[in-house]
């Protein structure tokens, strides 16, 4: 990995972390779903798609003003 790619990767990770932190602060429902989702992904268990679907519904409701 070149130095340019390494720097870009580090910056993007930091920006994603910052955005995720802001979303979790604004929408605690998404934070809770992320906490539940992490072990599911790590253990390669079923249900991951359902968690993504629920997070998408929460965000859609939030952006729709409902």
Q: One digit per residue, pLDDT tens: the chain, 66 residues? A: 799 999 999 999 999 999 999 999 999 999 999 999 999 988 998 888 999 999 999 999 988 876
Q: Cα–Cα distance between 66 and 64 in angstroms, integer?
A: 6
Range of the domain at 28: 3-64
**Which two structure tokens, joined as six digits, stand for 64?**
């729709």
**Reported pTM:** 0.70
Which residues, at least 6 apart from 27, have a Cβ–Cβ distance to it below 8 Å? Answer: 58, 59, 62
Number of domains in the chain: 1
CB-based contact 59:66 (threshold 8 Å): no
């Amino acid at each position: 990995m070149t130095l340019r790619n390494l720097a870009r990767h580090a910056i993007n990770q930091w920006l994603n972390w910052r955005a995720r932190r802001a979303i979790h602060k604004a929408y605690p429902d998404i934070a809770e779903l992320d906490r539940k989702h992490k072990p599911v992904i790590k253990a390669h268990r079923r249900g991951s798609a359902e968690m993504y679907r629920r997070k998408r519904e929460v965000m859609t409701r939030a952006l729709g003003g409902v």
